[in-house]
Amino acid sequence: MHELAITAIGADRPGVVAGVTGVLADLEGNLEDTSMTILGGRFAMVLIVAVPDEVGPDEVLGAMAGPAAALGLDVAVHPSDTTSEAQEGDAWSVSVYGADRPGIVNRFAQVLADHEVNITDLTTRVIGGPDRPIYAMLLDVSLPASVSAETVRAALGTAATELGVECSMNAADADIL
């Protein structure tokens, strides 16, 4: 078995997940980690799938063609290596919200990158009505031991002030019960 990365984006409607995963099941593919959600009215899927060695990206794409056309999906299939190393760190949650304006994600992501903070999950949503859109960003991040949370919090606070948005950072360490 080897792993492929598959993305599929298209109209949100019943049957999309069943259609895509049905093709993968027929190929004896095994879904590993996946993320599927509605983004801006479209249904977006990212799947890491283990498939038999003889099944390559082209075979998967070919098998997807029928369902993709029927469901109105744009599908891409890539070879995928798991070369990234796991990083140890403390889990924190960061939330940012404020008036929608370009550059919010980039500014905060750069602050985190400058401090060697790893983003492990990021969701953004435009909420509120079209006349008063509010941008909300929720991040899960991992702080390496070499960086103090207070240093990161202060840098995020500076960015928030500059952009005129609210930012909070809370420990997200889970308790093993």
Partner 1 sequence: MIRPVVMIPDPVLSTPASSVTEFGSATLALAEDLLDTMRASSHSVGIAAPQIGVGLRAFALDITGHKKAQSCHGEFVLFNPEVVTGHGKDVGREGCMSVPDLTGDVARYTSVVVRGFTPDGDERVIDADAFEARALQHELDHLEGKVFLDRVVAHDRVFQRKVYR
Q: Smaller CB distance to partner 1: residue 145 or 176?
A: 176
What's the closest the beta carbon of residue 153 comes to partner 1, in angstroms?
18
What secondary structure does DSSP assign to 57-94, as a single string? HHHHHHHHHHHHHHHTEEEEEEE----PPP---EEEEE
Edge-to-edge strand ranges of the sheet holding 118-127: 118-127, 134-143, 90-99, 166-171
Q: Smaller CB distance to partner 1: residue 26 or 33?
A: 33
Radius of gyration of the chain (CA): 20
Q: Smaller CB distance to partner 1: residue 16 or 64?
A: 16
Rounded Cα–Cα distance for residues 114 and 161 (Å): 18
What's phi and psi for 99, nearest 5 deg? -60, 140
What's the closest the beta carbon of residue 175 comes to partner 1, in angstroms?
6
Q: Smaller CB distance to partner 1: residue 94 or 163?
A: 94
What's the closest the beta carbon of residue 102 comes to partner 1, in angstroms?
25
Identify the DSSP state of 149.
Answer: H
Q: Which residues bind partner 1 (CB under 8 A)?
A: 33, 37, 82, 84, 86-89, 91, 118, 120-121, 123, 140, 142, 172-177
What's the closest the beta carbon of residue 10 comes to partner 1, in angstroms?
21
